[in-house]
């Protein structure tokens, strides 16, 4: 009897959500938290690099997901407005703020003259630039 195949990450061999190329060993995802469930959108290293440089806005990824999820009616349903983007570090992918285990961890953020915020990741020590997108803050680049 053959042993069962080793459990591998399903996203590792799947396509990048943005460009469709193989994700390979990229650990990066954009996590959308919808009303009923969460959706992890895998990103290849090239697309994550564009996000880190501020060249691939998360709003575009949400629009792509909404269109794939709901079709052409997604622009009229308001669904993209109801989705929250989990605030993760663009450098390592770890959560910038955690809620749950005890008290929520607060972000040590600094306001910039243009109204954006910067915060340092507690895991990789890289500085993320945050901007307001609708009712939430999203990471838009590394500084």
Domains: count for the chain: 2
Residues in the chain: 143
Q: Which of 5-9, 71-75, 100-104, 133-137 has the highest mean pLDDT?
A: 133-137
* pLDDT tens column, 82-93: 889 999 999 999
Q: Rounded distance, CA 104 to CA 88, Å?
A: 15
Range of the domain at 80: 11-86
123, 60: one domain: no
Tell whether 96 is covered by a domain: no
Are 50 and 56 spatial neighbours (Cβ–Cβ below 8 Å)? yes
Q: What is the pTM of this model?
A: 0.78
* pLDDT tens column, 23-39: 999 999 999 998 888 99
Torsion angle in degrees (nearest 10) through CA of 140, 68, 78, 104: -50
Tell whether 118 is covered by a domain: yes
């Amino acid at each position: 009897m053959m042993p069962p195949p080793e459990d591998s990450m399903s996203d590792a061999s799947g396509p990048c959500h943005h460009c469709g190329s193989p994700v390979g060993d990229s650990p990066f995802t954009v996590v959308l938290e919808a009303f009923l469930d969460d959706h992890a959108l895998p990103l290849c290293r090239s697309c994550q690099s564009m996000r880190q440089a501020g060249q691939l806005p998360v709003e575009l990824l949400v629009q792509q997901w909404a269109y794939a999820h709901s079709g052409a009616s997604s622009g009229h349903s308001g669904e993209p407005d109801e989705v929250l983007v989990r605030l993760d570090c663009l450098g390592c992918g770890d959560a910038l703020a955690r809620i749950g285990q005890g008290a929520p961890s607060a972000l040590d953020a600094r306001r910039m003259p243009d109204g954006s915020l910067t915060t340092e990741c507690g895991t990789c020590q890289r500085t993320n630039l945050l901007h307001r997108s609708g009712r939430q803050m999203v990471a838009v680049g590394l500084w």
